[in-house]
Structure 1
Amino acid sequence: MIAMQFFPSRTVSFYMAKTFIVRTFAVLAALVLVLQFLDALSESGTILAHPGNGQAEVWRYISMRTPQIISRFLPYSVLLGAIITYSTLNQNSEVIALKASGLSAHQILAPMIVAAFGVAALSFAFDDRIVSRATATLDAWKKVDYAQVPVDHGDRGNVWTKAGEDLIHVTSVKKGADAPTLVGVTFYDRDAAGRLISTITADHGQRDGKGWRIWPARKFDVATGQLSNMGSVVVADGVRPDQFTLANVDAEGLSFLELKSTVSALKAAGRQTKSYEGELWHKLSSPLSAVLMPLLGAVAAFGLARSGKLFIRAVIGMALGFTYFVVDNFALAMGNLGAYPPFLAAWAPFLLFLMIGEAVLIRTEE
């Protein structure tokens, strides 16, 4: 009957899950306390260097930096909490008692993996609602060297967009009541194969119907090499005003739904979105890494403690967990460079180490 149950008894399941959760958050609290102290020491000089800043600004920095540190090190804390829990259960011969009662390795791990799903859900909600806002605010504050953050009036600079196969570059976009005003416009006229036919440059531009009227326009014909004055001309038919006002995207400073909406807007504007799509998928795969940690650290749960190899098993579990984080960061970087597809960059490390963890568990214990 016991072999048919996926979990141990209710008492044992709650005991293991509670022990794992308590030790995970105890490790997290210790890590955050030490790392935040060191980070505040290194950054407080820069904060206080700006005239008028004082202790209140330092505490403001700490309040915005702490959520980032929690988000960054929560998966590490889950890994260390799992290994500490496994090592304690192993030393007290509790794992041996559970196996002697007929439970398999997967059944022993089940309560902690379920608890890790709860940590993953909490991590996603925390990242989405708190960390993203703190990151956006802190990044804006850092850009002005911890001075007063200016109000964003919607003006943009160095903007690129597409109109079919044609490209448009605008030096400065100034937000208006109905449509933005363009300054320093260059229109690249291309054929269906992407070859450049001509360029049209102008000092000013404004909305005209479904297109944009630019003036005084100067056209350079690539085939003939001739430069001619065109006066006022309408280009970029069908280009929406918001295609010029879309800012550079800070994926870490946006929630999941905000980033998804921004990616859709960038796609409509003809911009490259692969790196942002990778970040979008990673907002889901990153919290789920907490589910992997009890599996990767499970090697510390089994084997006889008196054999003297418990420490080695714990080190192997830590090595597997930290290797996952290295591979995950590498894959995400390759996705940002366009070397990996977005979905693969975000999910391949998770799926790879899920199989590695299962293989190690089955090979050594099942």
Structure 2
Amino acid sequence: MSILSRYLAGQILASIGLTLAVLLLLFGFFDLLEEMGDVGQGNYTMAKALLYIALHQPGRIHELMPIAAIIGALFALARLAVNSEFNVMRASGLPPWQLIKLMLGLGGSLALAILIVGELVTPVAEQAAQQIKLRTTSRVVAQEFKSGLWAKDGQNFINAQEMLPDSTLVNIRIYQFDERFQLKAIQAAESGIWMEDGHWQLKNVQTTRLDESGARTELVPSLRWQSSITPELLSVLMVTPDRMALHALYSYIGHLKENRQKTTRYEIALWAKLVYPLAAPVMLLLALPFVYLQPRATGVSGRVMIGVLIGLAFYLVNRLAAHLGLLNDWPPSLSAGLPILVFSSLAAASLWLVERR
């Protein structure tokens, strides 16, 4: 990398880092205002609320990096243009293709950072944040309906009244059906604890078996229960799909397909995790045409405002595409990739118009 490229890269990355820090502070302040209503419930103190917000930041970094990229890049490039540094660079023989190559290189680095944060840091931090809040405000992780939490495991239907932060299931009902979908047994357990060797240990189990001769009931203090329902699958109740790890999403989608349940929401989240990092190089390329505008046409503040508007538009289009895809059963790859496709087309068209000038 030449001295000029290193200088440009340093200026752009510094501006992106500053922009990201400002956005994190802004969204952190909004998160704090939202958490103030829960402070004082149980053992949920202000210190716990601040820790909860801090653990949310990796998810925010993953979400805000493309927006920070275009705002930071426009700020850095506009400052270079206003100070006539960019004109000097062009007069020294800096071709547009070299700037495009530089932006793609920086965008690739940011995309890798987004992927690492989203895959390795965000899921762990998000789960830890939810556990802190649940343990200090309430003992219940999930209770999707009045009758509790429901799941399907092969030909069995499982109902748990509550799920605790340590993945313990409370007041479990297991409805077993035969190949003709006729109820053959009902198991009721006081609780179920996940064991390290990969099974649930049920306590105080009452089993009612149904056959042609009638119903028979037996009571046992403890029973081993082997099931494909694991704490990892149940962890989706604590972490939203867009902040889950790829392997967790893939595993849960497989579980839903095996049980013939709808997977669209999680497939969209899976594809979004794969294509969202590409937003970083697209945003940097979209910022590049603005540097060729005359400095007096739009100053630094004007170009930063343009960056804010483009970043906001990308955020809204990304959310809108996901919701429309879920409502209209679009292919998950289309729902996740449409915003990237639209903004990359805008970037290509803008660069082409600049080249024609």
TM-score normalized with structure 2 length: 0.74
User: Of 214, 238, 247, which aligns to 2:234?
Assistant: 247
CA contact (8 A) 1:297 1:321 kept: no
Q: Which amino acid aligns with 2:210?
A: A
Aligned length: 319
Q: Does 2:207 align with 1:217?
A: no
Whole-Å separation in 2 of the counterparts to 1:317 and 1:52: 42
The 5-angstrom pairing of residues 16-35 of structure 1 reads 16-35=8-27
Which residue is 2:187 aligned to? 204
User: Of 339, 342, 348, which aligns to 1:358?
Assistant: 348
Which residue is 2:3 aligned to? 11
Which residue is 2:175 aligned to? 185
Which residue is 1:257 aligned to? 247
Q: Does 2:323 align with 1:333?
A: yes
Q: Which amino acid aligns with 2:253?
A: V
Deviation at 1:242, TM superposition (A): 1.0
59-68 or 246-255, larger mean C-alpha shift: 246-255
Which residue is 1:194 aligned to? none
Residue deviations 1:57-99, cap 9 Å, x none?
A: 2332233133233333222111110110121122123333344
The 5-angstrom pairing of residues 84-233 of structure 1 reads 84-143=75-134, 146-147=136-137, 157-163=149-155, 168-172=156-160, 183=173, 185=175, 187=177, 200=183, 203-204=186-187, 215-217=208-210, 231=215
Which residue is 2:279 aligned to? 289
Q: Does 2:305 align with 1:324?
A: no
Deviation at 1:31, TM superposition (A): 2.1
Whole-Å separation in 2 of the counterparts to 1:170 and 1:341: 30
Change (3 A) 1:137 1:309: closer
Which residue is 2:51 aligned to? 60
Aligned-pair identity (%): 24
Deviation at 1:293, TM superposition (A): 1.1
SS at match of 1:158: strand
CA contact (8 A) 1:161 1:269 kept: yes
CA contact (8 A) 1:157 1:171 kept: yes
SS at match of 1:87: helix
CA contact (8 A) 1:71 1:127 kept: yes
CA contact (8 A) 1:79 1:297 kept: yes
The structure whose RCO (Cα within 8 Å, separation 6+) is larger is 2
Change (3 A) 1:308 1:289: closer
Q: Any unmatched runs of 5+ in structure 1?
A: 1-8, 176-180, 191-197, 207-213, 219-227, 233-239
Residue deviations 1:111-163, cap 9 Å, x none?
A: 2331121122112212222211111222344456x3375799xxx83223455
SS at match of 2:296: helix
Bigger Rg, which one: 1
Q: Any unmatched runs of 5+ in structure 2?
A: 143-147, 164-170, 190-206, 217-225
Q: Does 2:294 align with 1:304?
A: yes
Which residue is 2:67 aligned to? 76
Change (3 A) 1:28 1:311: closer
Whole-Å separation in 2 of the counterparts to 1:276 and 1:151: 20
Whole-Å separation in 2 of the counterparts to 1:55 and 1:271: 41
Q: Which amino acid aligns with 2:228?
A: D
72-81 or 133-142, larger mean C-alpha shift: 133-142
TM-score normalized with structure 1 length: 0.72
Change (3 A) 1:290 1:135: same
Whole-Å separation in 2 of the counterparts to 1:80 and 1:25: 10
Q: Which amino acid aligns with 1:65?
A: H
Whole-Å separation in 2 of the counterparts to 1:242 and 1:35: 38
Whole-Å separation in 1 of the counterparts to 2:128 and 2:152: 26
Residue deviations 1:4-43, cap 9 Å, x none?
A: xxxxx71111111110000110111122223323422441
Change (3 A) 1:303 1:188: farther
Which residue is 1:37 aligned to? 29
Q: Which amino acid aligns with 2:270?
A: L
Deviation at 1:279, TM superposition (A): 0.8
CA contact (8 A) 1:171 1:183 kept: yes
Change (3 A) 1:272 1:161: farther
